[in-house]
Structure 1
Amino acid sequence: MRPLLAVLSGALVSLFLVGTATADADRLRPVPTGTAALTANPIYETGELKPDTCPERPVDNDDFKGATNYLNGLLRCLNTSWKRQFATARLPFSTPKLRVIRHAGVKTGCSEFPESAQAIYCSANKTIVFHLDKKALADVSDLWLFSVLGHEYGHHVQELSGIMTTFDSRRYRTKKDYNAASRRLELQADCLSGAFIGSVWSSLERPASDFSYLRRFEKSSPTHGKAANYSYWLNRGFLAKGPDACNTFAAKSRVS
């Protein structure tokens, strides 16, 4: 999801930019792998998300173009916030792409878009694919679009920080083992979404009931966790306003 004077003066500017890029690269650390990527990731140590504002664009029900613009505006806020976190962690950062679709079944670069999904993250091309169907557009006044995009961006954070790569590279002996690991991955994305929502909450001009409603929205799933645990991790991130609260891979409870 990444989108890419005098001759003497130009040469000096080029040398300056190359030197700056080299200095920035020297400050970066290797992306963690293995167990350390999951339980001791440097992204957990980056503090609260900043900046703390993200005014929502106005959007009407059943307005595909307006909802698409809403999501693109939100994506820019997510990019700004998470770019800072990765700089603090000294990890490489790149922005994801956003593709908005009207119908399921389209090819995404990873697989065909599933009928049951609202949005997916494809790590192969670092793209968030968002399904704006009639149901999603019927009522855009709540925080659902906001939360879903934040969740899928959470998967992008996991991809860049080595968490997703470690999850994908592991061999799971049984479906039960895979589901257990998947729940930790998905509940962490919920927590990261909650952290972003919490960090910009004061700029949203929304009543507390909007967030309370969101916490009751999710259904239980073998790969995504119980609805009560979704609510727990979403709220945990919301209160912390940062990824330090989202280490589900070290958690001993609330990951079923």
Structure 2
Amino acid sequence: MRLRNIRRSRNIEDRRRMGGRGKAGIGGVGLLVVLAVGYFAGIDVTPLLQGGLPQQQSAPRELSAEEERAAEFTSRVLATTEDVWAQVFPRQVGRDYRPPTLVLFSGVTQSPCGGASGATGPFYCPADRKAYLDTEFFGTLSRQLGAGGDFAAAYVVAHEVAHHVQNELGILGQVHDRRQAVGQAQANALTVRLELQADCLSGVWARAVDGLLEPGDLQEALNAAKMIGDDHLQRRAGRVPQPHTFTHGTSEQRARWFAIGYETGQMANCDTFGANRL
């Protein structure tokens, strides 16, 4: 993705200098499986790490060169989402777009939606209209989950911003209310539709930044969508896929809805809640 001449967003809150990384109590393949499930299956795996989560440190620390590069990359990608949705919202929704703040953290942090760690993965909190990202996640995405490439990482940022778009449209609140009125399996099914819609909206963003894409970028995003499907992650964790437990959708569904957004560029085509087939 060509970002050299793209501005850096000012809507970044960097908490990483106050964060520290400890050693997890689970090693090797076991830790990989736990983290993979936590990142993408909507499960807080903190109890599984048996006290081995990174601990917040009070003393400031210096950021590594890799962390600085991750912050610059993230801020530029965030700027592209601001520019895209500032144009798409008035044109397709009829009102102005209010961008979110993206919080960068290291290890652990707090939000109005609760505590977060690298094990719980990137998330969006509607209470403060902020997205939260541990930049170490980019390495996990590439090295451990098989979704390498800068556009795969950009897709992660765009997906969390897409949840903010849903919040701006009132969709998050509506889904929350409906989830409270149904059983767990139905609540999971609603969450799947919510996540697939965010994938589709990420595709709308990707179409709008097509001029910044390099050969292979689109394939990186589609591969990332496949690598984080519920069925793929459950198989990777040694489990038989159980659709009633899915919270993000299958690999095929995630890639297909991203492609729908990319191919059409229309938010109206991202109505996963009205779709007969996911």
CA distance in 2, matches of 1:102, 1:133: 8
Contact 2:112 2:125 in 1 (8 A): yes
Larger Rg: 1
| CA contact 2:196–2:248 (8 Å) conserved in 1 | yes
Residue identity in the other structure for 1:108: S
Distance 2:257 2:188 in 1: 17
1:146 aligned to which of 144, 154, 166 = 154
Partner SS, residue 169 of structure 1? helix
TM-score of the pair, normalised by structure 1? 0.70
Separation of aligned partners in 1, 2:215 and 2:158: 17
SS in 2 for 1:107: strand
Counterparts of 2:222 and 2:173, CA distance in 1: 33
Alignment-derived partner of residue 76 in structure 2: 73
Kept in 2, the 8 Å contact 1:119–1:129? The answer is yes
Determine the C-alpha separation between the residues in 2 that align with 1:216 and 1:96.
26
Counterpart of 2:266? 242
Question: Which moves more between the two structures, 78-87 or 122-131?
Answer: 78-87
2:185 maps to: 176
The alignment of Structure 1 onto Structure 2 pairs a total of residues equal to 198
Residue 121 of structure 1 corresponds to 124
Distance 1:57 1:168, change over 3 A: farther
Query: Identity across aligned pairs (percent)?
Result: 24
Change (3 A) 1:84 1:198: closer
RMSD (Å), alpha carbons? 2.5
Residue 11 of structure 1 corresponds to none
C-alpha deviation, 1:141, in angstroms: 3.3
Q: Deviations over 1:112-153 (max 9, x none)?
A: 115434310010000010111263486663422111111111
Q: Give SS of 1:130's match.
A: strand
SS at 2:102 equivalent:
strand
> How many Å apart are 1:235 and its aligned residue?
1.2
Residue pair 1:64, 1:137 contacting (<8 A) in 2 also:
no
Q: Which amino acid aligns with 2:267?
A: P
Residue 120 (structure 2) pairs with residue 112 (structure 1)? no
CA distance 1:136–1:181, shift in 2 (3 Å): same
Following superposition, the deviation at residue 101 of structure 1 comes to 1.3
Give the superposition deviation at 1:179.
0.5
Q: Is 2:106 the partner of 1:102?
A: yes
**Structure 1 residues 142 and 73, CA gap change in structure 2 (3 angstroms):** closer
> Take 1:229 and 1:138, find their aligned partners in 2: how far apart are those partners?
21
Give the TM-score taking structure 2 as reference length.
Answer: 0.64
Distance 1:159 1:215, change over 3 A: closer
State whether residues 62 and 138 of structure 1, in contact with CA within 8 Å, keep that contact through their aligned partners in structure 2.
Answer: no
Paired residue for 1:213, among 196, 209, 223? Answer: 223
Residue 82 of structure 1 is matched in structure 2 by 85
Once the two structures are superposed, the pairs formed by residues 56-67 of structure 1 within 5 Å of their partners are 56-57=3-4, 63-67=66-70
What are structure 2's unaligned runs of at least 5 residues?
6-63, 232-245
Gaps (5+ residues) in structure 1?
1-53
Task: Quote the offset at 1:55 in angstroms.
Answer: 3.5
